[in-house]
């Protein structure tokens, strides 16, 4: 089998800094674990706009389609705030998601024991938390037509359309049930079927997929507002949550914040299998480009490092190597290594982005 390819898109803000640390880790796996990758880099977001006038060039898009996995840093920054909607940095990310058809966005919300006190929630509410949010990523109100700002009579109207087909719901539901089988065997599906017809169809299809193919998995349904409440009240009641693109955006960020350490959380966005059997895949940290601290060596590279661990697991079927990397991160935290975002009231001296990357390397 030829060397698998990894396309790295560092993006904007802290993206390049954290990605530099990931490259060290990738190289380590090549040298020490005989897991070499054919790594290439390209531009996305504001960086791509600066170079090409578009937040993702057609050439980069084509390379992403060919890659065995794509690893993305972050996009956006105040410099690009006034750009037209169609060329904003986010559009580069959304184009990747849409054209690679990455319909299943996996967002683990895990509370690291060493960091449980960072949460704004009480320790016993979050300690040991380990939930997986599966967010539909290529449809819904993010992409539905008609959309835009149109003139009607003497005023303008902002319009977006939520659209879900049965097959779109079916495939993301299957992804969630498959994941649940390898975890706690429970899925909670969230929508607003009490007010939205798209939610009614969502609930119906999830129920059907469950009955037909996954009757062994425990399934429940919750309205998304109640889901937000329950996430804040007692998040450990959940195992896998499956929900649509917009609810998933909000609920997964809410869940991420519960853990108290946003700089720690990775994500995977998966599509259909390619000819070589691997799914189309993009991995990225949940945090943003953090322009306020960019270039200062303050960024926490762990979320991006753990995104690479997810790549090992979901793209390259190297679950044990992924475990190894995740254990290294835990060891480093247990030893007390802390970037500035992880500094608690107890104080101590923070380490830099590079030092954190090196610490993980050492632990490996």
Chain contacts with ligand IPM (rule: CB under 6 A): 90, 93-94, 194-195, 225, 249
Least distance between ligand IPM and beta carbon 94 (Å): 6
* Binder of a second copy out of 29, 49, 164, 316 (CB under 8 A): 164
107 neighbors 269 (Cβ within 8 angstroms): no
Strand, coil or helix: 12:
coil
Q: Is 285 annotated as a binding residue?
A: no
Q: Based on CB atoms, which residue is closest to a second copy, 196 or 331?
A: 196
Please give the DSSP secondary-structure letter assigned to residue 313: H
Rounded (10°) CA dihedral 61, 62, 67, 72: -10
Site for a second copy, residues 239 to 278, rule: CB under 8 A: 246-247, 249-251, 253-254, 256-258, 262
* Binder of a second copy out of 51, 62, 211, 229 (CB under 8 A): 229
Catalytic residue, from 225, 317, 323, 362: name it. 225
Which region, left, alpha or beta, applies to residue 116 given φ > 0 means left and ψ of -120 to 50 means alpha? Answer: alpha
CA distance 303 to 318: 19
Q: Is 341 annotated as a binding residue?
A: no
Strand, coil or helix: 112:
coil
Least distance between ligand IPM and beta carbon 137 (Å): 8
Rounded alpha-carbon distances, angstroms, from residue 33 to 36, 68, 205, 227, 364: 8, 19, 43, 42, 11
Q: Note if 38 is an active site residue.
A: no
Q: Note if 249 is an active site residue.
A: yes
Classify residue 160 as exposed, middle or buried by CB count within 10 Å of its CB (0-12, 13-18, 19+).
Answer: middle
Characterize the bridge pairing of strands 279-285 and 266-273.
antiparallel
Q: Is 288 annotated as a binding residue?
A: yes
Q: Note if 225 is an active site residue.
A: yes
Q: Based on CB atoms, which residue is closest to ligand IPM, 113 or 225?
A: 225
Q: Based on CB atoms, which residue is closest to ligand IPM, 302 or 351?
A: 302
**Stretch of residues binding a second copy (CB under 8 A), selected from 209-217, 223-231, 295-303, 319-327:** 223-231
Q: Is 84 annotated as a binding residue?
A: yes
Number of other CB atoms surrounding residue 133 within 10 Å: 27
Q: Based on CB atoms, which residue is closest to ligand IPM, 77 or 357?
A: 77
* Binder of a second copy out of 166, 216, 317, 362 (CB under 8 A): 166
Position closest to ligand IPM via CB: 90
Q: Note if 142 is an active site residue.
A: yes
68 neighbors 5 (Cβ within 8 angstroms): yes
Residues assigned a catalytic role:
142, 192, 225, 249, 253
């Amino acid at each position: 089998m030829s060397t698998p390819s990894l396309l790295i898109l560092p993006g904007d803000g802290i993206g390049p800094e954290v990605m530099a640390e990931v490259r060290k880790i990738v190289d380590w796996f090549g040298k020490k674990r005989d897991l070499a990758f054919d790594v290439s880099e390209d531009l996305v977001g504001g960086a791509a706009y600066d170079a090409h006038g578009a937040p993702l060039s057609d050439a980069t898009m084509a390379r992403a389609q060919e890659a065995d996995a794509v690893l993305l840093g972050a996009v956006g920054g105040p410099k690009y705030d006034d750009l037209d909607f169609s060329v904003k940095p986010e559009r580069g990310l959304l184009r990747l998601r849409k054209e690679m058809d990455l319909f299943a966005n996996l967002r683990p919300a895990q509370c690291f024991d060493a960091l449980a006190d960072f949460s704004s929630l009480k320790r016993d509410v979050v300690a040991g938390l380990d939930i997986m949010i599966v967010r539909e990523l290529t449809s819904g109100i993010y992409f539905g037509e008609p959309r835009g700002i149109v003139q009607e009579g003497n005023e303008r109207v902002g319009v977006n359309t939520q659209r879900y087909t049965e097959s779109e719901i079916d495939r993301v539901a299957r992804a969630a049930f498959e994941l649940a089988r390898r975890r706690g065997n429970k899925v909670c599906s969230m929508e607003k079927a009490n007010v939205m017809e798209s939610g009614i169809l969502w609930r119906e299809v999830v129920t059907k997929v469950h009955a037909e193919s996954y009757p062994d998995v425990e399934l429940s349904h919750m309205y998304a507002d109640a889901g937000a409440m329950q996430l804040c009240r007692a998040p450990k009641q959940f195992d896998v949550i499956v929900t649509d693109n917009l609810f998933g955006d909000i609920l997964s960020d809410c869940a991420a914040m519960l853990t108290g350490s946003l700089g720690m959380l990775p994500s995977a966005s998966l599509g259909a299998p390619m000819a070589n059997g691997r799914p189309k895949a993009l991995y990225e940290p949940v945090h943003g480009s953090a322009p306020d601290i960019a270039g200062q060596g303050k960024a926490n590279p762990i979320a991006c490092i753990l995104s690479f661990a997810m790549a090992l697991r979901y793209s390259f079927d190297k679950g044990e190597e992924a475990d190894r990397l995740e254990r290294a991160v835990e060891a480093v935290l247990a030893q007390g290594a802390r970037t500035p975002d992880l500094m608690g009231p107890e104080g101590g001296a923070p380490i830099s982005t590079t030092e954190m990357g090196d610490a993980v390397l050492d632990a490996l």
